[in-house]
Structure 1
């Protein structure tokens, strides 16, 4: 919406459209900081936006849905220190940790501890894990969530009066961000499993287009005078694919796609994505 008044009108108008058309869906995506409108295809969304303006008099600006990138590490970092110490009359704050981090292929996150001799008292260990988990919501490269990392709390120190859960949470967060910087951080992008069905005569053009979209062809099957092409393609390259496919096949092609996995973004492209994310925050 272009103004506060439009925002109120938009809410009412969208609710009316959602009641009239059950194939429309609206969701607020916290991670992407976008309100996402989904429907049966791009033409469907275009018509809905046009109706908002014509029928309800609401001016809206639209943009493509952002790509939900992730961040991870390729290297390791050992005995990385995080220290939070403040002295300001009365009780101070004191938390001090050493952590190791490494890639974790088996899941999003694993936390372990090998504390010996009570260098970090047991009651503060959950706060260390919490500080790391909270840091993982915003990575150091471009602010995307961090995944596939294991962290071990190996050492630290405490103050009998000034230590607290909050102080250890902050110390852990400082150590984690520093460790990520040392452990070869990289950007990951969602890769989609794509199946495209087209008449034989458009095969060459479709393959060329997939190559230009950084696609990997996985296989082809003949089905009468149609070809079924299976490929992996980055999600960032698939926006508005329905329009591209219609243009190439004169409206005679169809496709489906679903999420497959995350893969590392090529370095040259990652630089642009990181620069863009930083510019949006400024």
Structure 2
């Protein structure tokens, strides 16, 4: 091991410290970064600067996991995969940690409409240089699968989108249409290939499939074969409503079919039938 290499125990210690501050940060509780740094110096024998740099490396790896970042530690990339493995170990022991960070009494019905920006693929700018490394982390540690299995996150995102549609229509003077917006997946169950039945202010149908993550706008997500088929069959009305940074400051963008014009669709599982 070289002089600059961090051991597994050191990585585990600094990752635990990062999450301890992050939980306080998300909750709006005060914490002291300098005190955390000094405590780590005593625990693992690393310098203040080395610890700060490693915290920035953790922020970069957290982006690959599709997780919120600790304020004040801008991501520094080209991190070692061993650091991502330490994050994965922490998450494996606390799979539901982020659920507890969502505001328990959030009243979406009274919330202002979401900020809906331009999809990453439609911006007049190339992907960030670090995208390949982040995609490697996301694929290895199944960031999309983790969010897909988080039913609380999915439901909260759908509810936020449902009220966004109703508020937007009311602000456009279409109370009549706002009252007709339906949260299909909650009322009828999954299987329709979209979550919300809404309208444009002109009265055109909007079939909305909501995909929610806590990470950045390029965090990968799962989409089912049925959803793809419904999107293809309803190209004029189907919309993928992508909510990101949900636990912090939710923002959104929309994608329209064909989805493979915007994203790479990778098979992640196969149905096995006996011969």
TM bracket, shorter-chain basis: under 0.3
- Higher normalized helix content (fraction of residues): 2
Larger radius of gyration: 1
The TM-score with structure 1 as length reference comes to 0.22
The TM-score with structure 2 as length reference comes to 0.23
